[in-house]
């Protein structure tokens, strides 16, 4: 089967970026042909697929003279905030991705497309590949962008109800996807967030203690609900439970 993976962000440094990379890596075991479309800018590399199978859209260039647009307003690399993009910037963004998508359609003709984020690029994929199976993958930040930037959603995010399937992170999220994008529940599958089993796995021998140890490992930023988590933990007042917070404060990144 000929697969195409598309994402309008850097394929690294964020949860969705790592998800994107891991999907491609895991599919290698099944012998499918794969190609990848993604955003790229100076200072980052890509080694998951060869050059002949990669279609990077380069930012901070003459064609796109600004950093990658981030699905979160706070990102672990230099980025552009969607709400601050001008119409000219949006036109440049769409033209650059459209050029790559049409190039892929001419050269590759995929059987199945995995489109990350229910946002502008996935809308364009559905338009340019009307007869190809397209699975949209929700990463939650797309729902947040849709609520924060309704004008962008109304003008640039169209036809998502015509996706063949959507992968949601939970059953609860499926309802929100239906509400925001009018995508029927029967087209949605709750698959969870996933994890890399080469990094996260149980020890061969586990030593148990009387204390329960909870761990948060993610971006340390208010948008992730980190402060609410700490407050809830404090209010519980459980002496037999500890909470470890692992990550880098946003202002220290980059």
Which of 157, 190, 223 represents a domain boundary (last residue)?
A: 190
Same domain, 6 and 130: yes
The reply to whether 129 falls in a domain is yes
Same domain, 185 and 217: no
Q: Rounded mean pLDDT of 229-235?
A: 95
The reply to whether 123 falls in a domain is yes
Domain that holds residue 228: 212-252
- Range list of β-strands (E), 140-191: 165-168, 188-190
Same domain, 133 and 244: no
Number of domains in the chain: 2
With 50 as the cut, is the pLDDT of residue 4 above it?
A: yes
- Higher-confidence residue of 6 and 223: namely 6
> Could you report the per-residue pLDDT of 168-180, keeping only the tens digit for each?
999 999 999 999 9
Cβ atoms of residues 220 and 249 within 8 Å: yes
Same domain, 115 and 173: yes
The full DSSP string for 107-129 is HT--SEEEEESSSHHHHHHHHH-
The reply to whether 91 falls in a domain is yes
The reply to whether 204 falls in a domain is no
Task: Quote the Cα angle for 121-14-219, to 5°.
Answer: 135
The CATH number linked to 109 is 3.40.50.2000
Q: How far is CA 76 from CA 11, 44, 139, 201, 219, in A?
A: 12, 12, 16, 26, 8
Q: Which residue's entry shows tokens 């075991």?
A: 29
Query: 3-state DSSP call for residue 180?
Result: helix
Q: What's the pLDDT score for residue 13?
A: 86
The reply to whether 207 falls in a domain is no
User: Could you give the percent of the chain with pLDDT greater than 90?
Assistant: 82
Q: What's the pLDDT score for residue 250?
A: 59
Give the model's confidence band at 97: pLDDT under 50 very low, under 70 low, under 90 confident, else very high.
very high
The reply to whether 21 falls in a domain is yes
The reply to whether 161 falls in a domain is yes
Same domain, 108 and 140: yes
Same domain, 128 and 245: no
Average pLDDT, the chain: 94
Q: What's the pLDDT score for residue 254?
A: 37
Query: Encoding tokens for residue 55?
Result: 């279609």
Query: Encoding tokens for residue 253?
Result: 């990144």
Tell me which of 24-33, 109-118, 213-222 is least confident: 213-222
Q: What's the pLDDT score for residue 107?
A: 96
Same domain, 242 and 136: no
Q: What's the pLDDT score for residue 241?
A: 95
Same domain, 60 and 150: yes
The reply to whether 197 falls in a domain is no
Query: 3-state DSSP call for residue 102?
Result: helix
- Range list of β-strands (E), the chain: 2-6, 33-40, 54-58, 69-70, 80-81, 112-116, 133-137, 165-168, 188-190, 212-217, 241-246
Same domain, 26 and 143: yes
With 60 as the cut, is the pLDDT of residue 251 above it?
A: no
Give the contacts of 25 (CB within 8 A, at least 6 positions apart). 48
Same domain, 14 and 57: yes
Query: Encoding tokens for residue 69?
Result: 């647009």
Same domain, 124 and 174: yes
Task: Quote the Cα angle for 228-79-100, to 5°.
Answer: 125
> Could you report the per-residue pLDDT of 44-96, keeping only the tens digit for each?
999 999 999 999 999 999 999 999 999 998 898 999 999 999 999 999 999 99
Which pTM does this prediction carry? 0.89
Same domain, 88 and 164: yes
**How far is 2 from 80, CA to CA, in rounded Å?**
32
Cβ atoms of residues 223 and 73 within 8 Å: yes
> Could you report the per-residue pLDDT of 184-218, keeping only the tens digit for each?
999 999 998 878 888 888 888 888 888 999 999 88
């Amino acid at each position: 089967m000929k697969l195409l993976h598309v994402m309008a962000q850097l394929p690294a440094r964020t949860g969705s970026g790592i998800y994107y990379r891991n999907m491609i890596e895991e599919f290698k075991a099944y012998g499918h042909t794969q190609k990848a479309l993604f955003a790229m800018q100076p200072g980052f590399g890509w080694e998951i697929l060869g050059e002949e199978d990669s279609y990077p859209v380069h930012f901070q260039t003459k064609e796109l003279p600004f950093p990658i647009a981030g699905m979160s307003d706070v990102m672990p690399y230099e980025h552009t905030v969607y709400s601050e993009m001008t119409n000219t910037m949006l036109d440049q963004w769409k033209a650059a991705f459209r050029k790559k998508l049409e190039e892929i359609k001419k050269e590759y003709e995929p059987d199945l497309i995995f489109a990350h984020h229910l946002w502008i690029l996935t809308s364009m994929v559905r338009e340019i590949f009307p007869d190809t199976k397209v699975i949209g993958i929700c990463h939650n930040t797309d729902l947040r962008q849709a609520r924060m930037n309704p004008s962008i959603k109304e003008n640039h995010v169209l036809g998502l109800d015509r996706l063949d399937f959507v992968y949601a992170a939970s059953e609860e999220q499926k309802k929100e996807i239906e509400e925001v994008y009018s995508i029927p529940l029967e087209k949605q599958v709750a698959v969870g967030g996933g994890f890399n089993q080469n990094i996260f796995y149980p020890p061969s021998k586990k030593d148990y203690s009387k204390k329960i140890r909870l761990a948060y490992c993610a971006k340390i930023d208010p948008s992730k609900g980190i402060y609410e988590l700490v407050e809830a933990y404090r209010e519980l007042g459980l002496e037999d439970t500890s909470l470890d917070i692992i990550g880098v404060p946003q202002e220290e990144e980059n």
